[in-house]
Amino acid sequence: MTKFNLNKIKNKIKTLDFTGSANLLNLMTVSLVFLLTFSLTYYFISESSINDQIDMTNHENTLIAEQKFIDKVAPYIQKRQKKDGILASITIAQMILESDWGKSSLASKYHNYFGVKSTSDDAKKTVKIDTQEYVNGQWVTVKGTFAVYKNWQESVYQHNRLFLKGTTWNKKQYKDVINAKNYTDGTKALVKNAYATDPDYAKKIIRLVERYHLDIYD
């Protein structure tokens, strides 16, 4: 924003001799400049204030929407924790991260909130979508085959079932996640047992848990 020196303009007015028509014109010119300067300054200040208010409102609306998301999914996830033993804080944080608060295409269209892949050949239960994978030190786009669910509750159920049953090559692959007593140990176990290729996955999950105090749901 352009800065205007009002004091400099005032001093300029004081030094002028306003006797005669030429100086009268000078006075009118300076007065017009002063008025224009004041108007522009007021406009920019008002515009900045309005933009700040809009940004604040948008931020508040985002926080409200995020808390509503947590409030919606937390009770069912807590119920699953009692049955499956998987910490609710980790499940909620994963759900947020993997689905971008339920806004990702995989979540909004196919109710897959955890990026769970499928090896099934049944087209009704799977969908092929481009996804980002971290391979050999860099992010690459690959075509992944993902599971399709009826609703977000089924997505949570199947996510926990994956941890409980393990993979076809290792039935106990996620036993450390199930046995974890706190979210830090559970998150480290996720990465250790190759749930995701993102090297910063643990940091992102822990950051979400701590930012939104998700451990209160454990």
DSSP secondary structure string for all residues of 77-123: HHHHHHHH---HHHHHHHHHHHHTTTTSHHHHHH---S--B-----T
Give, as one character, the DSSP assignment of residue 146.
Answer: E
- Spell out the residues 6+ positions from residue 190 whose beta carbon is closer than 8 angstroms to its own: 90, 94, 174, 177, 196, 201, 202, 205
Residue-level pLDDT at 194 = 84
Architecture of domain 70-116+149-217 in CATH? Answer: Orthogonal Bundle (1.10)
Helix (H) or strand (E) holding 24: helix 21-84
Determine the Cα–Cα distance for residues 122 and 124; give it in Å rounded to an integer: 5
pTM over 0.85: no
Question: Which residues are registered as beta bridge partners of 133?
Answer: 140
Question: Which residues are registered as beta bridge partners of 141?
Answer: 132
140 burial type by CB count under 10 A (0-12 exposed, 13-18 middle, 19+ buried): exposed
pLDDT digits (tens, 9 = 90+) for 23-52: 666 666 766 666 667 666 666 666 666 666
Determine the Cα–Cα distance for residues 185 and 78; give it in Å rounded to an integer: 18
Token output for 206: 């822990």
pLDDT digits (tens, 9 = 90+) for 88-146: 999 999 999 999 999 999 999 999 999 998 865 554 689 999 888 887 788 888 888 99
For the chain, the domains span 70-116+149-217
